[in-house]
Amino acid sequence: MTHVQHTGEIGCLKVSSKSPPASVAGAIAGMIKDSVAVDIQAVGAGAVNQAVKAIAISRGFLSPIGIEIVCVPSFADIVIDGEFRTAIRFAVEPRDAAAAAQVSAGAAAQETPVE
Please give the Cα distance from 86 to 97 (Å, whole number).
Answer: 28
| Maximum C-alpha span of the chain | 63
H or E segment to which residue 75 belongs: strand 69-80
> Closest distance between a copy of itself and the C-beta of residue 9, in Å?
20
Query: Does 38 engage in binding with a copy of itself (CB under 8 A)?
Result: no
H or E segment to which residue 9 belongs: strand 9-15
In the stretch 44-83, what mask flags binding to a copy of itself with x, by CB under 8 A? Answer: xxx-xx--xx-xx--x--------xxxxxxxx--------
Residues that bind a copy of itself (CB under 8 A): 3, 17, 44-46, 48-49, 52-53, 55-56, 59, 68-75, 88, 95-96, 98-103, 106
